[in-house]
Amino acid sequence: MDASDLLRGTLLHLSDSSMVRTTIEKAPVSRAVVQRYVPGTGVADAVEASARLRATNRMVTIDYLGEDTLDAGQAAHTVDTYVGLLRALKARDLSQFGAAEVSVKLSAVGQSLPQDGERIALDNARTICEAAEDAGTTVTLDMEDHTTTDSTLSILAELRKDFPETGAVLQSYLHRTESDCRDLATAGSRVRLCKGAYKEPASVAYQDAEDVDLSYVRCLKVLMAGEGYPMVASHDPRLIDIARALASRQGRDPDSYEFQMLYGIRPDEQTRIADRGHQMRVYVPFGEQWYGYLMRRMAERPANLTFFLRSLVSKG
**How are beta strands 139-142 and 167-171 bridged, if at all?**
parallel
Cα-trace Rg, the chain: 18
Report CA torsion sign: 225, 159, 287, 111. negative
Q: What is the DSSP letter of 205?
A: B
3-class SS of residue 176: coil
Report DSSP letters for 106-174, one per residue. GGGGTTT-TTTHHHHHHHHHHHHHHHHHHTT--EEEE--SGGGHHHHHHHHHHHHHH-TT-EEEEETTB
DSSP H or E stretch at residue 283: strand 280-286
195 marked among binding-site residues: yes
User: How would you class 63 by CB atoms within 10 Å of its CB: exposed for 0-12, middle for 13-18, buried for 19 or more?
Assistant: buried
197 marked among binding-site residues: yes
Distance of CA 88 to the CA centre of its chain: 21
207 marked among binding-site residues: no
126 marked among binding-site residues: no
297 marked among binding-site residues: yes
Distance of CA 254 to the CA centre of its chain: 21
107 marked among binding-site residues: no
105 marked among binding-site residues: yes
205 marked among binding-site residues: no
DSSP H or E stretch at residue 63: strand 59-64
Given a contact cutoff of 8 angstroms between Cβ atoms, the answer to whether 61 and 281 are in contact is yes
What's the rounded Cα separation, in Å, for the pair 146 and 155? 15
Contacts of 120 (CB under 8 A, 6+ apart): 72, 75, 109, 110, 111, 113
CA dist 145 → 26, 105, 204, 215, 306 (Å): 28, 11, 10, 17, 26
Q: Which residues are catalytic?
A: 142, 192
Q: Which residues are annotated as a binding site?
A: 105, 143, 171, 195-197, 234-235, 296-297
Q: Which residues are annotated as a binding site for FAD?
A: 143, 171, 195-197, 234-235
Q: Which residues are annotated as a binding site for substrate?
A: 105, 296-297
